Amino acid sequence: MSKDQEAQEDELLALASIYDETEFCRAESTPGGEIQVCLELPKDFKIYVKGDKQREYGVLFLPPLVLNFELPLDYPSASAPIFTLSSKWLSRTQLMVLCRRLDELWLENQGSVVLFSWIQFLKEDVLNFLSIQSPLEVARALPERKKGEASMTKEALTERGKKKPLDSRAIVEVDPRADILPQLLDFDEAQRQKAFEGKVFSCGICFTEKLGSSCLCFKECSHVYCKACMSEYFQIQIRDGNVQCLNCPEPKCKSVATPSQVKLLVDEELFARYDRLLLQSSLDLMADVVYCPRKMCHTAVMVEPDTTMGICTACQYAFCTLCERAYHGVSACQATAEELRGLRDEYMSASDDKKKFLERRYGKQVIQNAVEESFSRDWLDENCKACPRCGANIQKIYGCNKMTCTSCKQYFCWLCLSLLTRGNPYSHFDNSSSPCYNQ
């Protein structure tokens, strides 16, 4: 084996011992391989979409730079490694600059193995070398080219922009028409989860230490509890219908578990109940959503602004959204006797907006009659008694306790409302066994 081959083998073995399989993959048929280089981002690093700096996203990880290389027979004594450098978030221009820097590093170390120096540069110095600072701007997706519109040739680009020809070693992995932001955020979340699963946490409920892979982290507050404790907690809350209360157990913490977290910790039946109740509670908060009043339906119905008619899409029932009876057009809602009894107190204690709503629902005249009727009923209850024979309201102004109904002419006792005989009505008061004796 030549010295070059020995140096190549030693370098590849060293890379395999330093980096795991997710970072370094050695080629099978040729001396070469692929290195995934994850950059070390500074704390509180943020990204934003070009033209939308108002919304910034904090990230801990960005997709790696991918260095594919093949070692010539006379490497490292004479020739440099043949390589390509690709990225999902760097521009082609930036990648070309990095390729030239790798060439310079080879020239500085010609005759010695250079892959480790390349990797260290890409891992530690790229941000400073390219003057990349937080927040990092990522480009929006380019609009689709119109049919028949020719793409710009390399020669045209060179002539038009007075730029150097493109370096074929610099590869942008993302379609310029695709939106890169979701891909970056998804990668960051996946890497965060991977890092979380490898750490050890102490559960604040059972006080046992477990790997992050057996724990749940609330995203808003980052409090961590083991999945076993949270699964039991979620099941109890969902069975009780408290789907809005799947919050962090930490006292006074208002972080809420996401639906995807709940789905991981409960069975399909409970999650279906959680999903249904969560949707219903969300619809209940929407002013333009009502429910079909039919007991066997209760489908959510969208209501047009400034109208009181709802039409159920499931059973086609047309109903009034105010009184929930069959739609009655512009006519006032018909209140039941029970509703009218409580209408006065509700109207008298209501705010101005509530009073207007009640007047719109029942009609101002109905409200006025209900109030007057209610006051009349209160006066009658305080000052009158009902005839025990016909029920007519009788007021006693003067005289004895032997009363004569003005409606049916029946004699009765004002005190105990007993019917009195027409022949001798006063015998009721002379009878010593009567509760009204001598009264």
16 pLDDT band, cuts 50/70/90, is very high
Average pLDDT over residues 193-209: 90
Q: What is the DSSP annotation of 193-246? A: HHHHHTSEEE-TTT--EEEGGGEEE-TTT--EEEHHHHHHHHHHHHHTT-GGG-
Share of the chain above pLDDT 70, in %: 88
Contact predicate 329/343, CB 8 Å: no
Query: From residue 359, how far is each of 43, 308, 325, 352, 356 by CA, in Å?
Result: 60, 14, 17, 11, 5
Indicate whether 159 pLDDT > 50. no
Q: Which residues pair with 216 in a beta bridge?
A: 225
- Rounded Cα gap, residues 12 and 32, in angstroms: 8
- Rounded Cα gap, residues 230 and 263, in angstroms: 12
Question: What 3-state class would DSSP assign to 175?
Answer: coil
Contact predicate 391/379, CB 8 Å: no
433 pLDDT band, cuts 50/70/90, is confident
pLDDT of residue 70: 94
Indicate whether 287 pLDDT > 80. no
- Rounded Cα gap, residues 20 and 101, in angstroms: 26
Between 372 and 209, where is the model more confident? 209
Q: pLDDT of 235-276, one tens digit each? A: 998 888 887 778 898 888 888 888 888 998 989 898 898 888
SS (H, E, C) 239-308: HCCCHHHCECCCCCCCCECCHHHHHHHCCHHHHHHHHHHHHHHHHHCCCCEEECCCCCCCCEEECCCCCC
pLDDT of residue 245: 75
pLDDT of residue 155: 45
Contact predicate 273/259, CB 8 Å: no
10 Å CB burial of residue 164 (0-12, 13-18, 19+) is exposed
Question: What 3-state class would DSSP assign to 30?
Answer: coil
Between 321 and 144, where is the model more confident? 321
Indicate whether 282 pLDDT > 70. no
pLDDT of residue 150: 47
pLDDT of residue 52: 65
Residues with a catalytic annotation lie at 400
* CATH number at 198-284: 3.30.40.10
Contact predicate 399/425, CB 8 Å: no
Q: pLDDT of 84-138, one tens digit each? A: 999 999 989 999 999 999 999 999 988 899 999 999 999 999 999 999 988 888 8
Query: From residue 138, how far is each of 20, 57, 61, 423 by CA, in Å?
Result: 30, 11, 15, 107
pLDDT of residue 280: 73
Indicate whether 202 pLDDT > 80. yes
pLDDT of residue 362: 67
pLDDT of residue 283: 63
- Rounded Cα gap, residues 383 and 373, in angstroms: 15
Average pLDDT over residues 370-386: 79
| Residue 53 backbone class (left: φ over 0; alpha: ψ -120 to 50; beta: rest) | alpha
pLDDT of residue 284: 60
Indicate whether 365 pLDDT > 50. yes
pLDDT of residue 340: 64
CA angle 223, 229, 234 (to 5 degrees): 90
Indicate whether 335 pLDDT > 80. no
Contact predicate 66/35, CB 8 Å: yes
- Rounded Cα gap, residues 298 and 292, in angstroms: 4
List every span in the chain annotated with CATH 3.10.110.10.
3-140+166-177
List every span in the chain annotated with CATH 3.30.40.10.
198-284
pLDDT of residue 117: 93
148 pLDDT band, cuts 50/70/90, is very low
CA angle 394, 400, 403 (to 5 degrees): 35
Average pLDDT over residues 388-414: 90
Residues near 152 by beta carbon (within 8 Å), at least 6 away in sequence? 160
Indicate whether 142 pLDDT > 60. no
CA angle 23, 25, 29 (to 5 degrees): 170
The overall average pLDDT reported for the chain is 84
pLDDT of residue 398: 84
CATH of 3-140+166-177, one of 3.40.190.80, 3.10.110.10, 3.20.20.70, 3.60.40.10: 3.10.110.10
